[in-house]
Each structure stands twice: as structure tokens, then as C-alpha cells.
Structure 1
């Protein structure tokens, strides 16, 4: 049901003419590459043809402003897998907004969302606490609205996959466990 070629085509139809940006399969780590002397368009490179990876990388692009979209990987700090607890908290702070957007994209596409702490070889934090923060951000975005590019893609995905649009709070299936302490 969720074919990566469909997502690539949908993204291109929605954004290429206006933003000169393409969604590209990669063989290694995901990265955003702005147009340069070797390639005349911007590339959102996602990992190994995975649909979930593509949605995650698109979410980062949707969050990035015009200036950041001129920088490799949007000019963001990134510390690879193996982060200590403090680094992991900093990583999660940066990831809350893009993962909330990713969750919205998943809802619009009828695709299952999984929060990603992305630190398999490092110190773990409370996954439910992080997911609760992403959930809360998504609720805020649903209530206050998404930016124009995000709205464009949400509408295109919902139309393509026959999902309800605009997104509503009631579409969220996740309920945070009540017994956990969510202190960050």
C-alpha cells in the first residue's frame, strides 16, 4: 500500500517546481544536500528506500526555514549513535518538532508512526517521555496549524491515501501511559 515511488512522485509534484527539491533514495545515512555545482536541485536523501525514513527526512525539510535549506543537513548539530544522557536529551529536544510533523505525515498517509530516539549504542532515556513530548507538540500543531509547506503535503498525502483531512486530535491512537513520570 505504501510504495516509496509513489511518495517520491507525490513529493516532486508538490514541491519541485516551487522549491527545486527532490526526494532521493540513498544507500547510507540520510542527509539533506542543497543544490551545488554538481547538482542543480536540492536533495532530501533518505535511507535504503524505507518509507518511514523518507517521511522522517521530509519532516526535517518541512521544519527548516529558507536559510537552513541552503545548508548541508540544514546546518544542524548532529552527534551520532552512542550519545551519553546529556547529548541524548539535546538530540531529543531538537527532534520533538520534526517528529511531530513526521507523525502528522504518517496520519495523512495512513502509515504507522514510531518515535525514534536513534541511540541504540548509547545511554537510553525514557522513550515514553520523549513520545509524550512529540505527542503534545503534534496536538499543538493540529490546534494552531502547520506551516504552508506542511499543509500542502498533508493535503496531498491525505487525498492520495484516502485519509481524513484536515487532521484532528481524534485521529491519534496513542495514549500516554498514566503511571510513568514524564519529567525530563
Structure 2
């Protein structure tokens, strides 16, 4: 048995509200507004997308500023931190200022998941994620990138290197602030 509560009033709907006409008109208005709004898509082969600095594309090795090889010192941190184990390298000792460098450095792009861990852990900023996103291979062998295919000049990834420096500095500042907070 229901009891009637005097505080609850029954809402009276008009005829338009009963047949849902205002809601239908609102939906039609939104649909027509979206139909004539500008597109957010590109005509892909003709117009290329320019990714932002935070975009993680194909990993590349950065050349030293004097163009005498790669920045990599063959520490192996990138190979250790890579979840799918896509990076392999062999180190060799040298007499130069840079004591070690990779004799071979390979990234299996079929395994790479573009996580960016390799660039985060690299102490020399030698491996970074480029803006290259349109990557195709016609054989498995061509998907294994050796050192010569991976080397790029530092100028071509300058905005990514600047982004990484800012990102790492922001993380250091946050960790310093957390360390300075005493309970």
C-alpha cells in the first residue's frame, strides 16, 4: 500500500514535453551544427601531420655534436630496461675521450613497443624517440635497424631533446620538493 506524501507534487508536463519535441529539436540542432563544423582530419598522403615534441615515434641514435659518431657510451641501460628486449648491442673499448662506444647497435622494430623507456634511462641523451610515425617494412630483415640506419644529426631531434631536458628537470624539482617535505 502506497502512502501519499503531501510534500511531493506531481509534475505537470505540457503537450510538447510529453511528445519529446524539444529534445528532438536539440538533437537535430547539435547534429546540423556538427555537420557544418570544420574537419579535424588531414588528407593524409597529401598533408602530413607534424607531431608535438612529446610524441614518441621511431627510436633513433643521436650523433655527437662534432659529427664523429654517436653519443652512445654503450652502458647497456637501454637494452636492460627495454620490456620486449628489442635492443641489442656490443661494446668496444677505445682510446678516445669517450672510453666506450657500441661496435654494433640494433633495434628490432618488430618488437619495439615505442614505450620510451630507453630514452628516459639514457644518461647521454644518445637514444631518443623521433617524430617519424609512418614506418613500413617489406621484410623482417629490413625491420632490424642497425647503427647506420639509426644515426641522425642532433639538429633533427632538437625539439625532442629540449622536451626531455625540461621533462627531466621537472621530475627532479618534484622529487626535491617531496624530499624537502618533512612529516
Give the greater-gyration-radius structure (CA): 2
TM-score interval (norm. to shorter): under 0.3
1 or 2, which has the higher helix percentage?
Answer: 1
Select the structure with the greater relative contact order (CA < 8 A; seq sep ≥ 6): 2
Report the TM-score, using the length of structure 2 for normalisation. 0.27
